[in-house]
């Protein structure tokens, strides 16, 4: 192998290696560290044992199984369809597009401005769903 080819080969290996490292789960937000804390501060107030609005409990230990691949009570969609934002009713409730997919009720978190999500929080939830909605 000539020096030039060897260099090219090495660069490819490095590029591939870096790429693989970048694609690691770090890119997918953590359900426990990033997503659940949002529910704790903005949602459990109305979605907890004894106040399970729409049959949805978002408290720690319950939120994941109540959301992921679980059918919505208001629409035909799943609450969270791993990898698919448009089929995830949760996203429609957060964006206020729930009526356009045959759902009903208000956008979340309801009428309480103190609990509205900011763009960064919505983006975290989107990235987590697109990343396959892992229980990480
Ligand atoms: C002030 C109370 C209140 C807060 C805060 C609230 N919710 Fe709700 N949520 C409700 C009520 C009541 C319903 C049922 C009626 C409706 O949809 O308007 C509901 C319904 C839902 C549904 C529909 C469930 C299904 O199976 O179809 C989802 C999803 C949801 N909420 C998610 C959230 C999320 C996520 C948050 C936090 C960002 C949140 N809610 C905050 C009261 C609340």
- Quick one: pLDDT at residue 106? 95
- Quick one: pLDDT at residue 129? 98
Does 14 have pLDDT greater than 70? Answer: no
Q: Is 128 in the pocket of ligand 1 (CB under 6 A)?
A: no
Per residue in 44-89, pLDDT tens?
999 999 989 999 999 999 999 999 999 999 999 999 999 999 999 9
- Quick one: pLDDT at residue 86? 98
Taking residues 113-126, what's their average pLDDT?
Answer: 91
Taking residues 15-43, what's their average pLDDT?
Answer: 78
Pick the atom of ligand 1 nearest to 39's CA. 37
- Quick one: pLDDT at residue 9? 54
Residue 27: band (very low, low, confident or very high) from pLDDT cuts 50, 70, 90? confident
- Quick one: pLDDT at residue 115? 79
User: In 3D, which of 131, 58, 65 has the Cα closest to residue 93?
Assistant: 58
Distance CA 65, CA 127 (A): 18
- Quick one: pLDDT at residue 12? 46
Pick the atom of ligand 1 nearest to 112's CA. 1
Q: Is 53 in the pocket of ligand 1 (CB under 6 A)?
A: yes
Q: Is 16 exposed, middle or buried (0-12, 13-18, 19+ CB in 10 A)?
A: exposed
Pick the atom of ligand 1 nearest to 55's CA. 26
């Amino acid at each position: 192998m000539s020096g030039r080819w060897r260099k090219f080969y090495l660069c490819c290996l490095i590029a591939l290696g870096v790429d693989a490292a970048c694609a690691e789960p770090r890119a997918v937000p953590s359900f426990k560290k990033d997503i659940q804390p949002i529910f704790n501060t903005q949602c459990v107030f109305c979605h907890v044992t004894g106040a399970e609005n729409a049959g949805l409990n978002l408290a720690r230990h319950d939120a994941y199984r109540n959301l992921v691949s679980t059918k919505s009570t208001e629409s035909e969609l799943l609450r969270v369809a791993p990898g698919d934002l448009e089929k995830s009713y949760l996203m429609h409730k957060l964006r206020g597009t729930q009526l356009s997919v045959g759902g009903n009720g208000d956008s979340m978190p309801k009428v309480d401005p103190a609990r509205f999500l900011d763009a960064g929080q919505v983006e975290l939830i989107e990235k987590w769903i697109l990343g396959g909605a892992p229980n990480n």
